[in-house]
Structure 1
Amino acid sequence: MLDGFPGAFFVKGVLVGLAIAAPVGPTALILVRRTLARGWPAGLATGLGAGTADAIYGLVAVAGLSLIGDFLMAEREWLAFIGGVILVTLAIVSWRSHIADRIAEKSLTVVGLAGQFFSILVLTLANPMTLLSFVAVMVAIGALPEEGENLTTASAYDVHFVLQLVLGVLVGSVGWWFFLVALSLAMRKRLSQQWLHSFNRVCAVGLLLFGGYVLVEAVRWAVE
């Protein structure tokens, strides 16, 4: 339906980015917690990191970079193990820390913000199954130029369309994360310290469950 309009692939990319980012997962928990604890700069840095990772996976999916895709899938158990360990570590740190104490600390430095960006970038890239999610969503909304395109044949894309789609994924994903940052800031102003502490514990448990699931998947893939 959008194919006759200029920038149609950009719009489709935005839809893909929203569809991939919107489901509640560990990235959302981490972003909300960081925003509550360290303010909007930490939230925006986290959102940019997650959005950049989504754009990278979008590029791999739409441009048909099959060597990268094959490598990610071949090493998925190790990547999943790394991601699981990171999530469990974050869960433990979250459980033992207090948001009120973090709020009282000085603002993050440039190095600190870079750490927020790259940590979520690595964590998101450590889940190669995201690549399959991108392909599935792109097929569902007609983001592939012709029916039957896949990771290999999609390499024939026009560069212009590839750039539109990947930029759209970045905008859609980052837009969703920035919306969560704004929502978290509004919630931060209305919640008492006790509620913030309780939410922090909920985030920790959620991260632990996600991390445990990823580790179980890593073991399952390793023994297949």
Structure 2
Amino acid sequence: MSVATAAGTFGVGVVFGLALAAPPGPMNAVIAEESVLRGWVAGFTAGLGAMTADLVFFALSLAGVVAFLQGAETVRAAMVGVGGLLMLYFAVGAARDARADFLSDDAGPDADDADARGFTKAFVLALTNPYQIIFWLTVGVGLLEPGTVDVLSYLPAVGEGLAGALVVRTGSPALLAGLFGGIVVWITGFPATLVSVGRRVDAFAPAAAVASALVLAGFGLTFCWTAARTLAGL
């Protein structure tokens, strides 16, 4: 592969990573909560926790463990259920944080402890996040093998209309490097944007924390219901 081709593939990987990381969901809800209540470093650290889970899934893909999960429906359903329960637990925490922020101007817990908590919360939640599990069971595994991937088709809402617009060959280290590069761009820029807005709008931080709690609760209930139905039907 030429340098120009590798650079182009890397750029496509960045687009792919942004497309995967940007849509609203439980991980961005955690990143948003940490960012608006504790600052950019906390939000970025939470994003690193989610990305670290992706690296774990990538390593498991190389070891063949992720492929094994494709035939283990009970295990996958249990993971979805655990993820749903964790989301509900973190939703309660986000609601409490929002209430505390409404009632007090206190800076909150020690910064180092808060950052570590955000990383751990996002990492544990991401390991049981059905979206990330499904991605690595399907598309993620395919990225490791020679073939093609329709990058823009995975965009939410508009993906169907953009199918076929950007198809790239898989099996290239440049594509995988770009994918994780795109995630880094998102977890850097998204918290920075939220912090910037929060500095201009006093009520933004608690409102964003409430929204994060609602998102986590909604996804948590959905995933618990999905897991229960799947396990009941086995």
The TM-score bracket by the shorter chain reads 0.7 to 0.9
The 2-side partners of 1:89 and 1:66 are apart by 31
**Residues 1:213 and 1:23: Cα distance change in structure 2 (over 3 Å):** same
Residue of structure 2 equivalent to 1:211: 220
Counterpart pick for 2:128 among 126, 129, 134: 126
The reply on whether 1:170 has 2:180 as its aligned counterpart is yes
CA deviations on 1:108-159 (whole Å, 9 max, x unpaired) are 22x54233213212211212442443544862134444xxxxxxxxxxx5xx
Q: Secondary structure at the match of 2:150?
A: helix
Conserved? CA contact 1:3–1:9, under 8 Å: no
Query: 114, 117, 120: which is aligned to 1:115?
Result: 117
Higher mean C-alpha deviation, range 52-61 or range 85-94: 52-61
Where does residue 7 of structure 1 map in the other structure? 7
Distance 2:105 2:54 in 1: 28
Distance 1:112 1:33, change over 3 A: closer
Matched to 1:93, the amino acid is: G
Contact 1:17 1:169 in 2 (8 A): yes
* Residue from 66, 86, 99 that aligns with 2:101: 99
Q: Structure 1 residue aligned with 2:201, among 191, 195, 207? A: 191
Alpha-carbon separation, structure 1, partners of 2:215 and 2:105: 20
Measure how far apart 1:69 and its partner are. 2.9
Residue 67 and residue 105 in structure 1: after superposition, are their counterparts in 2 closer, same or farther (change >3 A)?
Answer: closer
- Number of residue pairs the alignment of both structures matches: 204
Contact 1:73–1:128 at 8 Å: present in 2 too?
Answer: no
CA–CA separation in structure 1 for the residues paired with 2:116 and 2:169: 34
Does 1:68 pair with 2:70? no
8 A contact 2:37–2:209 mirrored in 1: no
AA of the residue aligned to 1:113:
D
Q: Is the 8 A contact 1:82 1:126 kept in 2?
A: yes
- Tell me which residue corresponds to 2:82: 82
TM-score scaled by structure 1? 0.77
SS at match of 2:111: coil
On the 8 A contact 2:127/2:133 being kept in 1, the answer is no
* Alpha-carbon spacing, 1:202–1:73, altered in 2? closer, same or farther (3 Å): farther
Distance 1:212 1:204, change over 3 A: same
Which residue in the other structure is 1:202 paired with? Answer: 211
- For structure 2, the 5+ residue unaligned runs are 144-148, 152-166
The alpha carbon displacement at 1:219 in A equals 0.9
What's the CA shift for 1:70? 2.2
Identity %: 25
In structure 2, the partner of 1:151 is none
Query: Which range moved further: 115-124 or 207-216?
Result: 115-124
1:172 is aligned with what amino acid?
A: G
Give the Cα–Cα distance (whole angstroms) in 1 for the partners of residues 133 and 193 of structure 2: 28
Aligned CA distance change for structure 1 residues 191 and 219 (closer, same or farther; 3 Å): same
Cα distance between partner residues in 1 of 2:189 and 2:208: 19
**Aligned partner letter, 2:67:** G
Once residues 41 and 4 of structure 2 are traced to their aligned partners in structure 1, the CA distance between those partners, rounded to angstroms, is 39
Identify if the C-alpha distance between structure 1 residues 12 and 189 changes in structure 2 by more than 3 Å, giving closer, same or farther.
same
